[in-house]
Amino acid sequence: MDKPNTDILSILYKNRNHIFLITFVSVIVAIIITLPFIIKPKYRSQAYLYPANMVPFFMEQNYNNVSHSELLMQFFNSYDVRTDVRRKLRLDKHYGLDTTLPKFQTYFDYAFEENIKSSLTKYESIELTVLDHDPDTAKLIASAIIESVNKLILKQHTDKFKEFIKVNSAYLDAHKKSLDSLQKCMEVFTKKNHLVDMGAQMREASKNYYKLLSEGKESLKLSEAMNEMEEHGPEFLRISNAMNEEARMYATVENELERSIRDFNRKLTYMIVASEPTKPDIKYWPKRGIIVSLTAIVSFVFACIYFIYIGKLKEVLKHVRAPESFH
């Protein structure tokens, strides 16, 4: 059965010195534990970034409702980035890890994810947070991550446009061969059938033909020319139209190739740095005030509970032993 409130308060008052002593000792222990030589402090470097120049080779992602900020986040979370930063700054040695261990990658990933985090803010920017025991190292790691992300996207950019150049060059060669073939066909056709400019020749021949007809005259040579144009004209127009279409396609692919080469040669950065990585001047963790306050509250509550239930237990044992003494 629960004690009445007055009995509980009486027990707490009776043991007040013990409760305050336990609380005081717990606070002293918490203060000692949070001293730098026991818990090594960590410093926090932060940077805020926005995506830039993520088009055109990522534009297809728009159809999947993926924002450029989300795309950039994938690069920040890339294992290629963490591997590059690890090698550049020797983070394995910095975190005290042995690269020969079978589970080295697991241990490194745990250390990396514990100390380095990137997240999207409500303003669609990326917040990069780096924790380290040394403030200069925290800033250095943050800067190295930004540089590595830029380098990785640039590699993707270069590879993508190198592929575009290769494909467009092959298309251009194919269209050039086709155009050359059509031009040769046209040359052979015009020499054989004496057709150079179908439109002009047809207009001139028609003009002279109908002029002679109106004068009541006829020209065998002109009639033969008109018959030849009537016979070979459709083939001439077919080859001519095919040449025009092939020339148009050649010009289109040539423009695409030139644009791919320009894009390939562009050296871009893919982030707008809204806030450069900071160099912290105060420790981020441990937060002594919070730890000491929580320790004081928890120890005080547990001390109160302990004495309340110890008092209750003693009372129960007293009632149990009373009948035994009577017998």
- Judge whether 239 and 189 are in contact, CB under 8 Å: yes
- List of the chain residues with pLDDT < 50: 1, 3, 219-220, 222, 326-327
What per-residue confidence (pLDDT) applies to 263? 79
What per-residue confidence (pLDDT) applies to 3? 47
280: CB partners within 8 A, 6+ apart: 43, 44, 45, 135, 138, 139
| Spatial distance between the Cα atoms of 237 and 243, rounded to a whole number of angstroms | 10
What per-residue confidence (pLDDT) applies to 277? 93
What per-residue confidence (pLDDT) applies to 71? 86
DSSP class of residue 196 equals S
41: CB partners within 8 A, 6+ apart: 133, 283, 284, 285, 286
Query: Which stretches of the chain are assigned E, i.e. beta strand?
Result: 43-51, 116-120, 126-132, 271-275
Instruction: Give the pTM.
Output: 0.66
What per-residue confidence (pLDDT) applies to 312? 67
Structure tokens at 44: 């926090």
| Spatial distance between the Cα atoms of 224 and 193, rounded to a whole number of angstroms | 12
Tell how far CA 66 is from the center of its chain.
10
Residue with tokens 């308060």: 9
What per-residue confidence (pLDDT) applies to 1? 43
